[in-house]
Every structure is written in structure tokens, then in C-alpha cells.
Amino acid sequence: MVRKERRIRVLQVVAAMNRAGGETWLVNVLRRIDCQRFDFTFYCYTGKPGEYAPEIESLGARICLAPVRLKSLSFAGKFRQFLREGDYDIIHSHDLILCGYFVRLAAQERVPVRIAHSHNTDADISIVRRIFWWLNKKWLRRYATHGLAASRDAAFAVFGPRWENDKRFRVLHCGIDTDAFRQKVDRAEVRKEFGIPEDAQVVGHVGKFYKQKNHHFIVEIASELLRTRPDVYFLLVGEGELRPQIAALARKRGIDHRVVFAGSRSDIPRLMSAAMDAFLFPSRFEGLGLVLVEAQAAGLPCLISDRVPQEANVVPELVRVLPLEAGARRWAETLSRALESPRLSAAQCLETVSQSTFAAQKSVEALEQFYLETLG
């Protein structure tokens, strides 16, 4: 009788599986990875499953919620018990602040492969949490058997300035679903959903309403641009704690009739392809900015801050870079020129992205190979 080989059990540790860059990449991985070889469990330590949970379960993976709050003294014991019962081969932790904590607990339970994944370069956190982050980075370097980073900047931020000299650490680019940009979309229909005229020019942004994404500056840029281009619309996609403040600021500036809040959306490729004419990304910091890669796949001219890693500039002809210190007026002037410039072929831009390391299938193949190497 032939014994069936056991699948490789991988525990993905996340806050929650909501619509964000790293989480969307993980879902893209789950859609494409060899399910005959890998068995995924998603451990959501906030106790909230997130928007992607139904799809994750439909794809045959499991969602497990933290049995107690992270701040509880009993959390560590409960998590270690969870690891013992799951008999995991790999723990893959994706939280910037807590990677070190989770790989330390996994080391105590002798999980053979312990991966810390850096998706960002900074954290908008209090001084107390920054001290905890410092401690976690020490744990990470001691207890992680391997480390992945979304970019070289993200590797430097978490693994330290000499990360390239440590064979445990490497960059692995997260991938996007390029096939989603090949779908035909009706420009008039998409814009009608938001009350935007078909012939209007639209500046788009996709990101959570957190300090990192710099929405206050987006409103300032919009105010400057609308002085000379009153026909332009701004389409802001995403949710977050700062959305009410940003909406109030738009009203205060008298531009709320030109700023559309789209909320959290599952059809980003559709919106980029049909609703947007340019993409604005003035982030304060980024681990990579995967949504910027999506904007290039849609052929959009992009205006970004110099805090965004250059690795995300897959189609350089589309990307213009400015320092945040340049001010809203200069950003508005540059954005206006981007709207007026001739558009590159969207098909050619998509092909460039599809051939890069940011294509989902290539990213998944790289991750599969990495998992197998770590267990080798």
C-alpha cells in the first residue's frame, strides 16, 4: 500500500485578512499555490477574520481566530498550545511590530521553519510600542530561521543595515493579478456608479485612511489643482480611522463636490482601468507600495513621493517622483502636467508588469521554491 505524503503545513500569522497589499498578495498566493503540496492556515491574532475570510475558506484553507486578546497574559500559552496541536512545518509571520514575538514563541515549540516577513519600512505607533518594536526586532534576528522582505528598503528597516550579509534574509516581491487588468470594462458604466462624468479627468488613490498614506496632503494637492482645473475629480478608494477627518477637511476646503469616497473595494483593477486617469501616491513611508504596481499595470501616469521604494517603478516612463517637502502647489502642477501628457499604451504597460517579478504567478513560484528550500 502506497502511503500518501503529508502536505506541508504553513501557518500564516496576520492581524486580519482585510483588503490591503500584503493580505491581497496572500490571497493571490492561495489562489495559485499547489494545494496538493501545501496546507495553509491563517491565524488572525486580532480575533477578526477580515473581508477575505469567505474566499479563503472557499479555497480550502482555514481561518483561525485568536482565542484570547493579544494583551492577555495567557495569550502566549494559548498560542503555543495552538502550534503544538497544529504540528506546523512553517510559521510565516507578516506583522511588522510582532514578527519577532511570534517567531520566538514558535522557536519555543520547535517549529522547524520560522519566517519573519517585512512588508513595511516604518510604523505609525506610539513611543511605548516603538520600544516593543525594537525588542521584537532583536527577537526576530535571534529566533527567525528565515526572513523575507517586500523590498530592499523593507529588509533594511527590519533586518538591519547588514541584512545582505545574513543568508537567512532575502527580498521576495509580492505579485499582483495581472489577468484582472485584461478584462474589458465599460468606462461610462463604472464612472456612473460614482456620479463622475465620462469625459471628466479623474485622479485616483487607493489606500487605507491611515497617517502613512498622507490623505491630508492629498486634499491639499486637490485644493491647489482645482484652482486651475475645476473639472477634475479625485477618487479615494479605501477605509480607515481617518476617513471622517479627511471628508471634513474636503468640506472645509470647499472641494467635497469633487472628492469621491469609494470605500473598500474588491474591483481595484476595474476602477483603475475605467475610472482613473492618473494615480496619486504621496505616502510618508512604504515597504513597497504594491498598489503602485497595479496602477502601472493599468497604464496610469503616477505621481509618487520619494519615500516609496524605487523597486516599485516597473514602468519608469509612467512614474514621476517628488519629495513631500516640495509642497502641495508643486505637486498639483506636476499632477496637472501628468494629466495632459500623452498616454502610453495600456497593453504595453501591462505586458511589462506581467513579465516582471511582480506578476502573481512568478511571485507564487518563488514563494513555493523558498518554502521547499527552507525545509530542504
Q: What mean pLDDT is predicted for residues 34-53?
A: 95
Q: pLDDT over 70 for what percent of the chain? A: 98
Give 248-265 pLDDT, tens digit per residue: 999 999 999 999 999 999
Residue 2 lies in a domain: no
Q: What mean pLDDT is predicted for residues 324-329?
A: 97
**Residues 161 and 198 grouped into a single domain:** no
**Residues 33 and 166 grouped into a single domain:** yes
Residue 363 lies in a domain: yes
**Residues 207 and 136 grouped into a single domain:** no
User: What is the length of the chain?
Assistant: 376
Whether the CB-CB separation of 240 and 208 falls below 8 Å is answered with yes
325: containing domain: 179-354
Give the total number of structural domains in the chain: 2
Q: What is the mean pLDDT of the chain?
A: 94
**Residues 223 and 165 grouped into a single domain:** no
Residue 248 lies in a domain: yes
d(CA 80, CA 66): 12
Buried b (16+ CB within 10 A) or exposed e, 174-185: bbbbbebbeeee
Q: What mean pLDDT is predicted for residues 122-142?
A: 79
d(CA 178, CA 314): 13
Give 113-126 pLDDT, tens digit per residue: 999 999 988 766 66
Q: What mean pLDDT is predicted for residues 320-327?
A: 97
**Residues 23 and 154 grouped into a single domain:** yes
- pLDDT of residue 355 exceeding 70, the answer is yes
Residue 163 lies in a domain: yes
Q: 337: Cβ–Cβ under 8 A, 6 or more apart, which residues?
A: none
Confidence of residue 3 (pLDDT cuts 50, 70, 90): very low
- pLDDT of residue 331 exceeding 50, the answer is yes
Whether the CB-CB separation of 90 and 13 falls below 8 Å is answered with no
Give 292-317 pLDDT, tens digit per residue: 999 999 999 999 999 999 999 999 99
Confidence of residue 134 (pLDDT cuts 50, 70, 90): confident
**Residues 258 and 120 grouped into a single domain:** no
Provide the CATH number for the domain around residue 332: 3.40.50.2000
Residue 13 lies in a domain: yes
The reported pLDDT for the residue numbered 177 is: 96
**Residues 148 and 185 grouped into a single domain:** no
Strands 319-322 and 302-305: parallel
Specify which residues 169 forms β-bridges with.
147
The reported pLDDT for the residue numbered 277 is: 97
**Residues 147 and 184 grouped into a single domain:** no
**Residues 350 and 366 grouped into a single domain:** no
Q: 249: Cβ–Cβ under 8 A, 6 or more apart, which residues?
A: 216, 219
Residue 1 lies in a domain: no
Residue 228 lies in a domain: yes
**Residues 201 and 342 grouped into a single domain:** yes
Q: What mean pLDDT is predicted for residues 343-349?
A: 94
User: With DSSP H G I counted as helix, E B as strand and the rest as coil, what are the percentages for the chain, rounded to 5?
Assistant: 45, 15, 35
- pLDDT of residue 213 exceeding 90, the answer is yes
The reported pLDDT for the residue numbered 132 is: 78
- pLDDT of residue 80 exceeding 80, the answer is yes
Whether the CB-CB separation of 137 and 169 falls below 8 Å is answered with no
**Residues 133 and 45 grouped into a single domain:** yes
Residue 59 lies in a domain: yes
- pLDDT of residue 33 exceeding 80, the answer is yes
**Residues 24 and 170 grouped into a single domain:** yes
